[in-house]
Amino acid sequence: MSGAFENPDLSYGDYLGLDRLLAAQAPLSDSHDELLFIIIHQASELWIKLSIHELTGARDRIAADDLGAAFKMIARVSRIQTQLIQSWDVLATMTPSDYHAFRPSLGQSSGFQSFQYRELEFLLGNKTAGIGVHASDPEIHTHLQAVLAAPSLYDECIALLRRRGFADSVDAAWLTVYREPERHWDLYELAEKLVDLEFRFQQWRFAHLKTVERIIGHKMGTGGTGGVSYLAKALEQSFFPELLKVRTSI
């Protein structure tokens, strides 16, 4: 096997598709800050894409009883969440006046319409939200229906507990794991990886809420959402409720 590069003429820009990537920002106003708004959200969508890739892999590895590989993938998503949290710090440099200079250009577009965010929540196990907002795009709607019907990451964790012989409730199973961590070390580590993931996800949600509050106060959000009130409600949702509940029972 030769040590030569397979594509010796491939440049950095070609490999990354930079011509398409850097041409994807198209502000609709003359506002200086609109480019910041676009790039923050585009970058977030790229990080979410990677999170979906990693969590899908982790789910499949858990189903195959390969927890070591799953741990690495889940831990990576927790670090991605750190990047997403910090992105709100950058967006928060935008003042209310800066935002309102281009807000009319957004029309009815809203982060609520992010199909990748919805897929991420479904993949983690929160399948309470509907997908009607995506009905106008049959391809995306069909894809989300498939993700909604498929086992989530947490579904596979619960199936793993059953394969390990835990016949009682999910609450009772996790309580046994936490009371006997040495005996069930890999399940204990899995649980803590999930708790860390949820902790960072909630930090991301909270940072989003506070950034929106800082910029638009309690006005109605774009796309008809309740803005801060809508984001506050999302903070009440837990992906892995039994793993939080077990802390009270230990």
Provide the 8-state DSSP code for 65.
T
The C-alpha atoms of residue 90 and residue 3 are separated, in whole angstroms, by 43
The C-alpha atoms of residue 243 and residue 29 are separated, in whole angstroms, by 47
99 is in an annotated binding site: yes
215 is in an annotated binding site: no
Please provide the DSSP assignment of 191-209 as one string. Answer: HHHHHHHHHHHHHHHHHHH
39 is in an annotated binding site: yes
103 is in an annotated binding site: yes
158 is in an annotated binding site: no
40 is in an annotated binding site: yes
**Amino acid, res. 104:** P
Provide the residue count of the chain.
250
Asked if 123 and 109 touch (Cβ cutoff 8 Å), the reply is: no
59 is in an annotated binding site: no
State the sign of the Cα–Cα–Cα–Cα dihedral 235, 238, 243, 247: positive
41 is in an annotated binding site: yes
37 is in an annotated binding site: yes
Binding-site entries: 37-41, 99, 103, 208, 222
Binding-site entries for substrate: 37-41, 99, 103, 222
Binding-site entries for heme: 208
